[in-house]
Chains A and B, each alone.
Chain A
């Protein structure tokens, strides 16, 4: 994952611009889609080749929960659907 052959490995997840990403479990996915009443591809997308997605090792079809810091709400939760590419 990340920069394979480099001797220095940088953990990009620590950067202040990167919010926390979590992979949803199967039950959480069902619950989320039922609550929002949408199909997964109607969520915003994130590519499987995205640096953070690669770091987490997510596969296309997964849903990622993103916990963003927001100046308005303090913390806000968003979801992204992992697409291939």
Chain B
């Protein structure tokens, strides 16, 4: 007697209410091909559901401690291993323990900020098109496209010779340079191109500038941005599978998302801070999980992802990314004794007594200090009495 697929789904409906989608699908797939009677089926489903309920974490389980130990112990094995590894030919990316510390400290800027930019349908299969997007993103300053720069003291002008080949490569014309120079207030009136040679530009120095000031002006002119996005210093085009991706040195998520030709859905940056600002806390939570898990996995450490999720949940609890430590989770505990037992003991005790803080003794650390049982597991259960209920039942 075979049960039809529709009927099977109907019989499994109560289990669907309890089981998470992934486990339910597994159960459904396993049960589907096997000829079972209805009684056998309900037996199987009951066993599966009960097994699932038994594996759930019970209230009072010290999951934070378990997570801390589960990440901390493998972490000790990381310390002696390599700090850096050459990931993308020329680019170096911080990995291992330094990166893990960076993540849990919620640093604003990573040690080695990088982005991986995927391209949209129209640009991802062609190297030339990918380079086109790369040129839009990579920052190009005047100093990158010149052969030489001189200061002529007699006529008090700065002479700039442009590098034709570099300009072509970066997609810049003499006109772009002139326009960019025009934005500098001090020289905006005195920019002109040589009549015979369009690759030579003269910049008139204001008459009241002395030599030192002129030199400073030259340095400023060399640094002006002609093209690209601030913060992105270098772009490398790389083939991944059947598509081209851009890997950058430096990160600026907000600006890159607006660049034409970029696949908005898959832009990656390793700066959690930027993700939080541009994509929100939930995206930051997910990015933290991915990054921490990657670091651990890359080192060959098999830490269950649920521990990592708990860490990310705690870090994003208040709606913004907080570090674990003195200025974050550990430093904002309500209990004075718990805070004092972590770092800068005297400061916390002193300030608490000055302010007359009260310790409710609800956490673990403070109860360890005063030698009480810790409120964990079965000790989380408290007895409460309802006097009116007792009276109404006629008890004394």
On A, residues with C-beta under 8 Å from B are 3, 6, 8, 10-12, 14-19, 21, 44-47, 50-53, 66, 68, 70-76, 80, 83, 85
Contacts and interface: CB of A to CB of B under 8 A. Distances in A.
Contact of B282 (A10, A21, A73): A21
B258 A72 contact: no
Contacts of A44: 313, 316-319
Contacts of B305: 71-72
B320 A19 contact: no
A15 B282 contact: no
A18 B286 CA distance: 8
Given A44-B317, A73-B20, A19 B286 contact: yes
Contacts of B260: 8
A61 B286 CA distance: 24
Interface of B: 20-23, 25, 257-258, 260, 264-267, 275, 277-283, 286-287, 305-306, 309, 313, 316-320
Contact of B279 (A12, A46, A66): A12
27 contacts: A12-B257, A12-B278, A12-B279, A14-B265, A15-B265, A15-B266, A15-B279, A16-B265, A17-B279, A17-B286, A17-B287, A18-B283, A19-B282, A45-B318, A45-B319, A46-B281, A47-B281, A47-B319, A52-B280, A52-B281, A52-B283, A68-B282, A72-B22, A74-B20, A74-B25, A80-B319, A85-B319
Given A14-B264, A16-B266, A44-B316, A50 B306 contact: no
Contacts of A51: 277-280
Contact of A83 (B275, B286, B319): B319
A52 B282 contact: yes
A32 B351 CA distance: 39
B319 A50 contact: yes
